[in-house]
Amino acid sequence: MKLAYLRTSSIDQNLARQQYLSDEADKTFSEQVSGKDTNRPELQRMLGELRAGDTVIVHDISRLARSLGDLNNLIQEINGKGAAVEFKKEGLVFTADKSSPTNELMLNVLGAIYQFERAISKERQAEGIAKAKAEGRMNGRPKNVRQQSDIKKHLLEGVSIRKTAELVGCGVSTVQRVKKVMV
User: Phi and psi of 161, rounded to 5°?
Assistant: -60, -45
Q: Running along the chain, 183 residues long, what does each successive block of 10 average in pLDDT?
A: 92 84 93 87 96 95 88 92 93 80 82 84 87 80 85 94 95 94 83
Q: Give the orientation angle of helix 172-182 with respect to helix 161-168, to 10 degrees.
A: 110
The fold of 2-128 is: Rossmann fold (3.40.50)
- Beta-carbon contacts of 65 under 8 Å, excluding residues fewer than 6 positions away, are 35, 38, 71, 74, 111
Q: Give 33-60 pLDDT, tens digit per residue.
A: 888 888 999 999 999 999 999 999 999 9
With 0.95 as the threshold, say if the pTM is over it. Answer: no
Is 9 annotated in the active site? yes
% pLDDT > 90, the chain: 50
**Nearest C-alpha neighbor of 3 from the set 27, 20, 30:** 27
What's the gap between Cα 97 and its chain centre?
A: 31
151, 168 Cβ separation under 8 angstroms: yes
**Which of 42, 78, 57 has the alpha carbon at shortest distance from 3?**
57
* Domain residue extents for the chain: 2-128, 145-182
